[in-house]
Amino acid sequence: MAEPTAADHTAYLAIPGRLRAPQPGWTAHADVIVVGSGIAGLTTALQLRQRVDRVLLVTKTVLNEGSTMWAQGGIAAALDPADSPEDHLRDTLVAGVGVCDVEAVRALVTEGPGRVRELVALGAEFDRDADGEIKLTREGGHHRDRIAHAGGDATGREISRALIAALRRVQDDPGIEVIEHALVLDLLLDDTGRACGVTLHVIGEGQRDGVGAARARAVVLATGGLGQVYAATTNPSVATGDGLAAALRAGAEIADVEFVQFHPTVLWLGPGSSGQQPLISEAVRGEGAFLVDKDGARFMEGRHPLADLAPRDVVARAIVERMRETGEDHVYLDARHLGAAFLEERFPSIVARCRELGFDPATELLPVAPAQHYASGGVRTDLHGRTTVEGLYACGEVSCTGVHGANRLASNSLLEGLVFAHRIADDITARLAAGELPPVPAGEAGRPKGPATLLPETARVEVQAAMTRGSGAVRTAESTAATALALAALAERSLDESAAEPGPQAWETTNLLQVGQLLTHLAARREETRGGHVRDDFRDLDDEHWRGNQRATRSRDGSVTTTFHPVAAQDIS
């Protein structure tokens, strides 16, 4: 029999149903399990704590180490009387390049201002002007000043602080429990396929140590992104796609994962630099900084009506093209004219980090290049956060609500987590009251069936290298086929029971492999350039054939079925 070719692996994909792990040695019970402690997870848990008997919040490391902490720019909402939800909706649809879910966007922009004000009432302290009003600035893709920020460029840190403080105030409440250092492995499903909990590995002491089973009437995934699937990303080290991979293995529908946003202005630290890279917030360009090439030419002028504040996909693509033209591996961000005093007040964290690394934005050009930043796709949900697996919800970056389409509008991510966390809490509360999410009978929830998989942690660099080469910022049929073939070889290794010892690093590496396989599979299929998806062999937008969303579902036999769902033309005039 002939060896499978790259084309075979691009056309067909199979994913094992579970991670190889020890049998659970302990059990916990709750009404709802929330996985993740960013803005989505914390808000969901806090809202549910007031309404259900028992909430269990589990987080991978400690409460404040998720992606929310790293959000620099701010949170977008139509808070200015001169702004409106309709204007915010229009900007979001334009950034999403025709494939957003309009009703999801409408929910986001309509409910967003009220949710931000509630966040302020909870204790979040946003920067204010001389009149005491929340300061608003502008970022790429926005036609109005609607970005609220805190600590200059530490918005995520302040929001995280306020939410964790609110959680600490009720930590003695027996109705809510927090387990830190807990890595979710797989979803527990009953005989009907309903989500009834999770298996997780806890690094702790006493009864809850090692692998255990937490059972619940509903599970909310708020596990964040997948950035570590690439060699260079702005995401923290915990962003290994764990929730997305677990949902995929459980049969949940996944959508739009080929739409990966590469932030255009990430500080370039030289060839070979990998891991989490320093982000230079879009808000710096919002305050007047601009991009230049090695000769000092402002290459964004004339390319888009918003020039340096064009949507992220437009700017990232322009940078890639200019680097190709000049033979350089970076361009430059010029913020010198803003002055040291302004930069230090408005962007204290960015300035400090740049200077720590040997760059001074007040006196010199900053070398920048695109790096992975955000996953616009994820576990597909409806307007209430429900996935296609009964009892399973998803919120935040792990989800695909349809809000972002092919390219997330700047600073819509925190808002999405906030708005849809409230929607999920409302829905779960109503369904529990109606008896739609019944208790889990003892012994009902079982682990997924089928072959187990595990890849050694040493293979992580191979996954990242293959993804960066072939499924990165710019892709082709040839590059995605080569990546699919490389990942398939690793997947074959992962089925060997002697290949790796179970443990957090190996589980994360296996999740990255599966996420990378699915992303590459969908990227190979989409033969056009749209938003965050750039195909060098199909450089144009193709509304005739590709204005729509790709969805993928793993069947019980392990095969992944992919479907395409057209989207009607959207009025963005």
Of 530, 471, 522, nearest in space to 231 by CA: 471
Going across the sheet that includes 392-394, the strands are 176-179, 55-58, 32-35, 218-221, 392-394
Separation between Cα atoms, residue 62 and residue 547, nearest integer Å: 40
Q: How far is residue 210 from each of residues 22, 25, 428, 458, 558, measured CA to CA in Å?
A: 9, 7, 29, 22, 27
312 as an active site residue: the answer is yes
Rounded to 10 deg, the angle between the 504-525 and 460-470 helix axes is 20
Residue with tokens 């906030």: 418
Separation between Cα atoms, residue 549 and residue 214, nearest integer Å: 34
Among the options 18, 215, 312, 423, which is catalytic?
Answer: 312
Residue 247 near residue 387, CB atoms below 8 Å: yes
Of 153, 98, 510, 94, nearest in space to 343 by CA: 153
Residue 184 near residue 35, CB atoms below 8 Å: yes
> How far does the chain reach from its first CA to its final CA, in angstroms?
56
Q: Which residues of 415-428 are buried (b: 16+ CB within 10 A; e: fewer)?
A: bbbbbbbbbbbebb
Separation between Cα atoms, residue 309 and residue 298, nearest integer Å: 13
Q: How far is residue 356 from each of residues 87, 351, 367, 482, measured CA to CA in Å?
A: 39, 8, 15, 38
Q: Which residues are annotated as catalytic?
A: 312
